[in-house]
Structure 1
């Protein structure tokens, strides 16, 4: 007796959306970590393309979370409101900055980066497929291998025609931030050995061409990860408090750190002389600690003599120099609230989140300026990636595996 036909409904639009989303995640998770090792502008070029693909996919299949409730929660989040205060104060500082044209251009780039991160956040599906998220550790492994090869045999191995000046440093910083969501995802899938191997591979990539800032960032991130894994509440509290406190009291740091640095490194070492320049900036014009000198003055001021050439190029210095107490304290509160909020999410992801926060803050404190677009793009990518990993936690174990465990226990 012939069976009744049961044709499967095929929707080409849904298939196209799934394909676009897979391509977008492949570009964000795999191609970007690899290409960032050899191309300086890979981050600012590929990330928007990947986000656009995710937006198109979400517009087709509408598998993202409802936008209106997400916007409402975002607009009432203390961290987001404090961050918007920093942006608004930056806009207001345009009235007294001596570099209006460059400041407007840089502020527009900052707004575009924030918009990119928000669009990527809203475009993510409500439930992430494991097949897409496993691309993340694969991309970190591939990027680490490329970095090791370039570190051992020279950057001349990069493809011809690609501007690779300084690309490896930026690519390694991208790996330092992406390794934490990759570790969090693997550990949430109970793949601890793979997570350990991934961490060791990234560490090896950093030691092949050692840089003090990068090694310190990975070490601090690993410390935060270890403390939070052992005592989650303590790890979250320490990461949030130390980061926010350092930013809030940054003008006092050169007065405290300079004697220690002079004793350890000598009074004429570059680091100590940089702290001396910071001291002079604070003492010569203390009133400017209230309003700041205006957006973009830290970078441009060195070129025209407003700042010593050896003045620090860190976020701690530039926040206070450009935005004063209002911008710095608002940023400190936003940082504190963000870290505490990250510590209230899925427990399996909290150590990775703290490691990423600590590593990113260390990089910002040791040599990355306030508004370098490639750096802001990397932070935006890390945020989107962590949200994607969080949305892949809707199922903690596979049904067949769970059933097998129950049979073994019985």
Structure 2
């Protein structure tokens, strides 16, 4: 009897295809996720309670990202990217600043400390370049959403310290300077967080994040971070309303202030005397700045040498109440060559960032980029030293974060569903690392 066509017939099954599993790619994805988690979440949170959190965590996170890119090769082509970066006007002008700083070691009175500081600064710049070349060509949304979460968590920690700081600081080894550095990180990273959320259409979440950061800065009052946030908000609003005007205004103001710094004390001192009185500390600081300019005008050409401004106060080389602002220290140490090169580099970087952000995501990224430039420049002008390593590392983290946000703007839009006739759906690009 012939076998029936029932269940007893053995059916041939087509072999199911299983996606190949590459342990190396999985390891790279894990390393990259851990690196971005450290950069976006751990760093801003730890910066609220530890003075050296930024200096310690940033190199570790960047090293993980570099290793991940070396494994899976998902970064942009190295030769093309490096050539484009090395031949840009901003990079060449910045290289001139470093070269002039190295040359100024010939006439600096603090050769040993200046050499050590210059080597540390160069190492930080090389770390930034390595991280830039290792960033994925396409950022995953899952990694970028860690950024606002980290900023929110850091804001909550800062609020807790602002409310219960007297009790907590007695039981912790860190002092108030760790809180100030943490607030600086918040004042800068809030803008890429807002830019990312707005680029995803989450305007309410972006507004809530900004309000929470503003509350954290208000509870732990420090005029530097509050003023930086306010200036950044003005730049953000202006660039949102008029993108080209906002980019040009930020570039012109930042570059113009660097170029005209020696003339600022002669303008600011009469205003300060009228507003605060002739014996106010800030007015006396401006007076010391004015005295340095008038007594040694020739030194405005060459400068006194790298690291002279920070250490000259301890040996009476300049007044003890001399400003600690970037505008003063840059001219005092590097003179007209370093100041003009730095101004040109900053102006070119702002203009390039504005054009790139506008082309990538009009109305979303450019306002945040200009707000970051304005906030960082305000902090540098108020009282952060020129080459303080934690400050330079914070700027490195902020730059990398914004580049990562910009590289997350590559998704295509899905077509809306139609009941009249089907529409072809173009494949959506994979949201790779």
Q: TM-score, normalised to structure 2's length?
A: 0.91
Out of 183, 190, 194, the residue aligned to residue 183 of structure 1 is 194
Shift of 1:124: 0.6
Out of 247, 251, 262, the residue aligned to residue 262 of structure 2 is 251
Q: Which residue of 2 aligns with 1:273?
A: 284
- Alignment pair present for 1:204 and 2:215: yes
Out of 349, 353, 362, the residue aligned to residue 365 of structure 2 is 349
Shift of 1:391: 0.7
Cα distance between partner residues in 2 of 1:108 and 1:66: 28
* Cα contact 1:38–1:162 (8 A) shared by 2: no
Out of 279, 286, 289, the residue aligned to residue 300 of structure 2 is 289
Matches within 5 A, 1:116-265: 116-154=127-165, 156-157=167-168, 162-265=173-276
Shift of 1:4: 2.0
Q: Which residue of 1 aligns with 2:392?
A: 376
Relative to structure 1, the CA distance from residue 50 to residue 324 in structure 2 (aligned partners, 3 Å threshold; closer, same or farther) is same
Q: Which residue of 1 aligns with 2:53?
A: 42
SS in 2 for 1:147: helix
SS in 2 for 1:258: helix
SS in 1 for 2:355: coil
Gap runs ≥5 in structure 2: 1-10, 424-433
Gap runs ≥5 in structure 1: none
* Cα contact 1:184–1:349 (8 A) shared by 2: yes
Q: Which residue of 1 aligns with 2:404?
A: 388
* Cα contact 1:38–1:158 (8 A) shared by 2: no
Q: Which residue of 1 aligns with 2:383?
A: 367
Cα distance between partner residues in 1 of 2:153 and 2:91: 34
Structure 1 residues 212-259: Cα deviation after superposition (integer angstroms, max 9, x where no partner): 111110000000000000000000010000110001000000001100
Shift of 1:330: 0.3
SS in 1 for 2:153: helix
Cα distance between partner residues in 2 of 1:32 and 1:156: 23
- Alignment pair present for 1:403 and 2:416: yes
Relative to structure 1, the CA distance from residue 14 to residue 164 in structure 2 (aligned partners, 3 Å threshold; closer, same or farther) is farther
Figure out how many residues of one structure are paired with residues of the other and give that number: 405
Cα distance between partner residues in 2 of 1:322 and 1:83: 16
Relative to structure 1, the CA distance from residue 194 to residue 386 in structure 2 (aligned partners, 3 Å threshold; closer, same or farther) is same
Q: Which residue of 2 aligns with 1:17?
A: 28
Cα distance between partner residues in 1 of 2:253 and 2:205: 31
Cα distance between partner residues in 1 of 2:419 and 2:179: 48
Cα distance between partner residues in 1 of 2:130 and 2:174: 29
Cα distance between partner residues in 1 of 2:399 and 2:239: 19
Cα distance between partner residues in 1 of 2:333 and 2:63: 33
Cα distance between partner residues in 1 of 2:387 and 2:204: 37
Cα distance between partner residues in 1 of 2:419 and 2:207: 28
- Alignment pair present for 1:309 and 2:325: no
Shift of 1:117: 0.8
Structure 1 residues 165-219: Cα deviation after superposition (integer angstroms, max 9, x where no partner): 4111001101111111111100100100000000000000000011111111000
Larger Rg: 2
Cα distance between partner residues in 1 of 2:366 and 2:142: 22
Cα distance between partner residues in 1 of 2:158 and 2:318: 35
Q: Write 1 or 2 for the structure with the bigger share of helix.
A: 1
Q: Which residue of 2 aligns with 1:114?
A: 125
Q: Which residue of 1 aligns with 2:336?
A: 325
